[in-house]
Amino acid sequence: MKSVEINDANKFGMLTVEKLEEFEQNYGIKLPDDYRSFLLNYNGGFPEPDIVDFVQYGENQSDIVNYLCGIHNGEYWASLEWYMQS
């Protein structure tokens, strides 16, 4: 697995376990453990490198991840809650 750095981590503030659980409860979801861990450590940011490799329909693919959203009241484009409401 490639090493990934997260630039601008916690730019809009640290996320608490209580806020994370409130978010999940509000939307009736349980986020995967690895994403929960990411949110509690970084709460969003720009991944470096920003290329993700995956297999789709049996073919190797890649795509760019511009930003990983967090749970906060910062910029709408960086807010997981904004995307959940869209």
Average the pLDDT over 28-50 and give the result. 96
Distance separating alpha carbons of residues 3 and 77, to the nearest angstrom: 25
Q: What is the pTM of this model?
A: 0.84
| Phi, psi for 69 (deg, rounded to 5) | -70, 155
Span 42-75, pLDDT tens digits: 999 999 999 999 999 999 999 999 999 999 999 9
Q: What is the pLDDT of residue 36?
A: 97
The kind and range of the H/E element at 64 are strand 59-64
pLDDT on residue 1: 56
